[in-house]
Amino acid sequence: MNAQMSVATTPETGEARPVEQVDLRHEFNEVGIGEVLDQLDRELIGLKPVKTRIREIASLLLIERIRKRMSLTSEVPTLHMSFTGNPGTGKTTVALRIASILHRLGFVRRGQVVSVTRDELVGQYIGHTAPKTKEILKKAMGGVLFIDEAYYLHRPDNERDYGQEAIEILLQVMESQREDLVVILAGYGDRMDKFFASNPGFRSRIAHHIDFPDYSDDELLAIAELMLHDMNYRFSPDAREAFIRYIGLRKAQPLFSNARSIRNALDRMRLRQANRLVADLDRVLSASDIMSLEAADVLASRVFSNGYPK
Amino acid sequence: MRITQGCFSFLPDLTDEQISRQVQYCLGKGWAVNIEFTDDPHPRNSFWEMWGLPMFDLRDAAGVLMELNECRKVYGDRYIRLSAFDSSHGWESVRLSFIVNRPNDEPGFRLERHEAAGRNIRHTTKSYAVDRPEGSRYGGR
């Protein structure tokens, strides 16, 4: 750490010379990814393997950046990624963070995220797809293209589907303009596996496959409390107990989509709370009344009534 | 004869690097960049053909360069120019326009003198290139 940065230009000639020594801490602080990673840790609950992987990628990119300055490398690292995981596990949120990490490290020039699905890439008639896909690609240049539910691009049952055309254009640009664009594909695990199996070109062009695990009960509770905190609500102690039971029951039911289900549940609880408060018009409300969700708001959920005691 | 129309035309041809810096400037100003091409180099020819639609909502010049290279592949033997359109109120017009591709050989213009009534002379400039039909000027490709 005591090695200071050496002078980048020689005074006699004034021409750029590769640096020979680099203060790693200085570099790390300079690009400010520390903050982004800390923010990631703070604001995203759970997702251990994902965070580890992002840290690894960030470290690799930091070293790559230094190597470049030392003239040890000229290759642009492949940064295309694939995020797989169940609904509501934070794939989109992480994609936004990744964009800002890449931007800070200078691997994407602008740092915008263009988020698209099949609709925006694939056309409706012959000759419509290519311009449409290129339009999106041009908008995403210099940033990150996030393709949600990417497996819909490929429809194996219809061989005349235009999705294939979009895939071919994507693959071509992913290969030839690696320094201009980072593509992130996201989708549910099993279907993405099938997608990659039928499009081997994609699998080999993507360097980082990141799997998003489901949240545990404790993590879901922490997520709920964080969401409530951001909305200026809080659970009363009873409501918190009830919500722990709610999570357990809801998880066992079909169509559970992790954090998204939690957010929806909270929205419904806010409705019930508002209804409860309005039902009794002749009282003076304190800020604390308005902020707190009571056990009754939680327990009124249908999840509890499916044969389970209240 | 090297034709000089639009910005930078008295400078040596811009490199791709320089083009993308100019485009980035335009995008930074919020202008929409458009690619046009023609094989009629007359200065009063205002009808250049469009290569696709003007590119709105771009953030980075790489997208324009991608289209430009596509256009060069097809019409590399013609003049190609970029124009930047400012849609903001009060401007609503092209703010910057420059040539980014020209034929290898530019034969130039001839001056025609037309003797009108009373020994008046009217002048016309005509490009040698337009003697041949559209598409086969500049050797075609």
Q: What percent of chain A has pLDDT over 90?
A: 35
What was the pLDDT predicted at A307? 46
Query: Distance, in angstroms, between A41 CA and closest chain B CA?
Result: 30
Q: What is the strand order of the sheet B32-38 is part of? A: B49-50, B32-38, B79-86, B93-101
pTM: 0.80
Confidence class for position A76, pLDDT limits 50, 70, 90: confident
Average pLDDT, chain A: 85
Amino acid identity of A272?
R
What was the pLDDT predicted at A77? 81
Average pLDDT, chain B: 92
Residue of chain B whose alpha carbon sits nearest to that of A176? B66
Q: What is the pLDDT of residues B123-140, one digit of tens each?
A: 999 999 998 888 888 875
CA–CA separation, A261 and B12 (whole Å):
61
Confidence class for position A2, pLDDT limits 50, 70, 90: very low
pLDDT greater than 90 at residue A68: no
Provide CB contacts within 8 A for A114, sequence distance 6+: A136, A139, A140, A143, A144, A145, A146
pLDDT greater than 50 at residue A309: no
Q: What is the pLDDT of residues A125-159, one digit of tens each?
A: 999 999 999 999 999 999 999 999 899 998 888 87
Q: What is the pLDDT of residues A109-119, one digit of tens each?
A: 888 899 999 99
What was the pLDDT predicted at A146? 94
The DSSP symbol for A97 reads H
CA–CA separation, B53 and B35 (whole Å):
8
Q: What is the pLDDT of residues A12-44, one digit of tens each?
A: 444 556 677 778 888 888 777 788 788 888 888
Count A/B contacts: CB-CB distance under 8 Å: 41
pLDDT greater than 90 at residue B16: yes
Confidence class for position A54, pLDDT limits 50, 70, 90: confident
Token match 């304190």: residue? A286
**Is the separation of the CB atoms in A166 and A150 below 8 Å?**
no
What was the pLDDT predicted at A135? 92
| Pairwise pLDDT comparison (B62 vs A37), residue with the higher score | B62
Residue A139 and residue B66: Cβ atoms within 8 Å? no
Helices (H), chain B: 16-28, 62-75
Q: What percent of chain A has pLDDT over 70?
A: 92
pLDDT greater than 50 at residue A9: no
Q: Which residues on B lie below 8 Å from A173 (Cβ)?
A: 66
Q: Which of B 66-85 lie inside 8 A of A, CB atoms?
A: 66-67
B61 in helix, strand or coil? Answer: coil
Asked if A106 is an interface residue toward chain B (Cβ–Cβ < 8 A), one would say no
Comparing CA positions, the residue from A210, A242, A212 lying closest to residue A46 is A212
Amino acid identity of B112?
E
The DSSP symbol for A9 reads B
What was the pLDDT predicted at B17? 95
Q: What is the pLDDT of residues A172-230, one digit of tens each?
A: 999 888 889 999 999 988 899 999 998 888 888 898 899 999 999 999 999 999 999 99
Q: Which residues on B lie below 8 Å from A110 (Cβ)?
A: 59-60
**Is the separation of the CB atoms in A150 and A187 below 8 Å?**
yes
Query: Distance, in angstroms, between B73 CA and closest chain A CA?
Result: 16
Q: Which residues on B lie below 8 Å from A134 (Cβ)?
A: 66-67
Give the sign of the dihedral formed by CA B123, CA B127, CA B132, CA B135.
negative
Substitution target from A114, A136, A138, A178 for chain B, most B beta carbons within 10 A: A138
What was the pLDDT predicted at A18? 67
Residue A137 and residue B67: Cβ atoms within 8 Å? no
pLDDT greater than 80 at residue A305: no
The number of helix segments (H) and strand segments (E) in chain A equals 15, 7
Q: What is the ipTM of this complex?
A: 0.81
Confidence class for position A267, pLDDT limits 50, 70, 90: very high
pLDDT greater than 70 at residue A8: no
Substitution target from B21, B60, B68 for chain A, most A beta carbons within 10 A: B60
pLDDT greater than 80 at residue A6: no
Residue of chain A whose alpha carbon sits nearest to that of B63? A138
Burial of A235 (0-12, 13-18, 19+ CB in 10 A): buried
B49 in helix, strand or coil? Answer: strand
| Pairwise pLDDT comparison (A31 vs A276), residue with the higher score | A276
CA–CA separation, A138 and A120 (whole Å):
13
pLDDT greater than 80 at residue B46: yes
A43 in helix, strand or coil? Answer: helix
Q: What is the pLDDT of residues B80-132, one digit of tens each?
A: 999 999 999 999 999 999 999 999 889 899 999 999 999 999 999 999 999 88
